[in-house]
Amino acid sequence: MENASVKTNYQLVNVNELSLGKYQRTVKIQKVKSMAKSFDKTLLGTITVSKREGQLFVIDGQHRVVLARIKRLKELMALVYEGLSYEEEAEYFNKLNGANGEKLRLSKAEIFNASIESKENTSLEIKNIVEEFGFKISPASGTNSIAAINTVEKIHKKYGVHHLHNTLRLLKGTWNGETYSLNNLMINGVSEFLIIYSSEIDFNLKTFTSQLSKVDPKIIVRESKSDTSTDNTAVRMMNTLLKYYNKNLRNKRLENKHFAA
């Protein structure tokens, strides 16, 4: 983030005038309560703030801001940036809190969300594909919720947007967003299955969907984890997928092409 028009200064800011951007993480109330038990005003340090459109937005230090409000403090010392756009705020937040930043406490979903707010192209592309099928990127697993954003990003990087689209389309069409169908093992396994068997599976993937939709994704994940034939987790998942794909099929059964993958 380089912007010659940006100015910085240290100043006391009114706690009640501070706002949060959408890129911010969810406040962990238990963390704030823990901080409150050992509260020491001298250890609050300096928060980082952006002054934009006449308002003050917290870039770093939101838990301290919540704590200050609980303790009825009127002011906090802040490093104030003036001249940042909203996108630059989100980018700076990501740099402070992301994988290569000063802090390592954010979930991957929160880092991804900050990338979206900073309008990073790859993240926006992934978000559009995910939402096309009614899924959402989330810190926690659940129906139609993808917590395995690392896996999704790796698929996008390795095989491209078209393959990621096909993978998520197949997952949606087969299990309709069931929690275990969006497990990282399942997403990666289905992606690799598509790569290896693309020439043998019919274009609409009807056989895969009709065969695998009969099986609870939780069972597939459990069986793949108990497979002792290899240490390769993708191959374990493909072993299980192939088993149920071929079950009771008389025609168009698949030969195992993946075991040495």
Q: pLDDT digits over 33-74, tens only?
A: 777 887 877 778 889 999 998 899 998 888 888 888 888 899
Distance between CA 209 and CA 166 in Å, rounded? 13
CA distances from 188 to 85, 97, 98, 173, 237 (A): 37, 26, 23, 16, 8
Number of domains in the chain: 2
If asked whether residues 159 and 240 sit together in one domain, one would say: yes
For residue 107, pLDDT over 60 is answered with: yes
Any domain includes 253:
no
If asked whether residues 112 and 134 sit together in one domain, one would say: no
If asked whether residues 139 and 240 sit together in one domain, one would say: yes
Any domain includes 260:
no
If asked whether residues 100 and 141 sit together in one domain, one would say: no
Q: How confident is the model at residue 111 (pLDDT cuts 50, 70, 90)?
A: confident
Q: What is the pLDDT of residue 261?
A: 47
Over residues 170-197, the mean pLDDT reads 96
* Residue-number span of the structural domain to which 201 is assigned: 120-246
Any domain includes 259:
no
Any domain includes 251:
no
Phi, psi dihedral angles at 167 (to 5 degrees)? -65, -50
CATH number at residue 28: 3.90.1530.10
If asked whether residues 136 and 180 sit together in one domain, one would say: yes
187, HSE (Cβ side, Cα atoms, 13 Å): 27
Distance between CA 56 and CA 119 in Å, rounded? 21
* Nearest residue to 146 via CA among 175, 117, 122: 175
If asked whether residues 131 and 238 sit together in one domain, one would say: yes
CB 64 within 8 A of CB 1: no
Q: What is the pLDDT of residue 2?
A: 55
CA distances from 1 to 89, 117, 132, 154 (A): 9, 14, 31, 25
For residue 242, pLDDT over 60 is answered with: yes
Q: Please state which of the ranges 40-54, 149-163, 234-248 shows the lowest mean pLDDT.
A: 40-54
For residue 105, pLDDT over 60 is answered with: no
* Nearest residue to 112 via CA among 161, 150, 155: 150
Instruction: Name the domain boundary from 116, 133, 157.
Output: 116
Any domain includes 137:
yes
Phi, psi dihedral angles at 119 (to 5 degrees)? 60, 40
Any domain includes 22:
yes
Distance between CA 237 and CA 77 in Å, rounded? 52
If asked whether residues 112 and 126 sit together in one domain, one would say: no
pLDDT digits (tens, 9 = 90+) for 188-217: 999 999 999 988 887 668 999 999 999 999
Phi, psi dihedral angles at 20 (to 5 degrees)? -115, 140
Over residues 254-259, the mean pLDDT reads 89
Chain length of the chain: 261
If asked whether residues 112 and 153 sit together in one domain, one would say: no
Over residues 121-148, the mean pLDDT reads 94
Q: What is the DSSP letter of 75?
A: E
Any domain includes 233:
yes
If asked whether residues 134 and 105 sit together in one domain, one would say: no
If asked whether residues 102 and 155 sit together in one domain, one would say: no
Buried b (16+ CB within 10 A) or exposed e, 233-250: ebbbbbbbbbebbeeeee
Phi, psi dihedral angles at 114 (to 5 degrees)? -65, -35
Instruction: Name the domain boundary from 116, 137, 156.
Output: 116
Q: Could you tell me the strand order of the sheet in which 47-52 lies?
A: 7-14, 75-82, 47-52, 55-60, 18-20
